[in-house]
Amino acid sequence: MQQFNEDQAIAFAKSEAWKNMDPKERAAWQLEQELLCMPFQVFQESVEEALGRPVLTHEFANRAALRLEMEGKAKPPTFAQILAMLPQGKTVVVVCDKDQ
């Protein structure tokens, strides 16, 4: 895949050509690009739809893992594995009871 340079990425984003892609195609295409070529929220929602699960922002630091999961070559990370991706000593987890 040809990598966009900064000007090409900006032009693609402004053209909104990504709207013509289905979510899985959009997610797979953007995961291959080094530069963000669409609004991040659109990218994140596309990846979540393609994977069928919530994807936390810090998971995008490992695009290769997301690609492997999308290709069915890797299982989704557990919640513990997702938390382990965060810096130690800087993680706060809030547990909410859905019934309250």
Divide the 100 residues of the chain into consecutive groups of 10 and give the mean pLDDT of each group. 94 97 96 97 98 95 95 94 87 78
| pLDDT for the residue 45 | 98
Handedness of CA 8, 9, 11, 16 (dihedral sign): positive
| pLDDT for the residue 98 | 76
| pLDDT for the residue 40 | 97
Q: What is the mean pLDDT of the chain?
A: 93
| pLDDT for the residue 100 | 63
Give tens-digit pLDDT for 15-33: 999 999 999 999 999 999 9
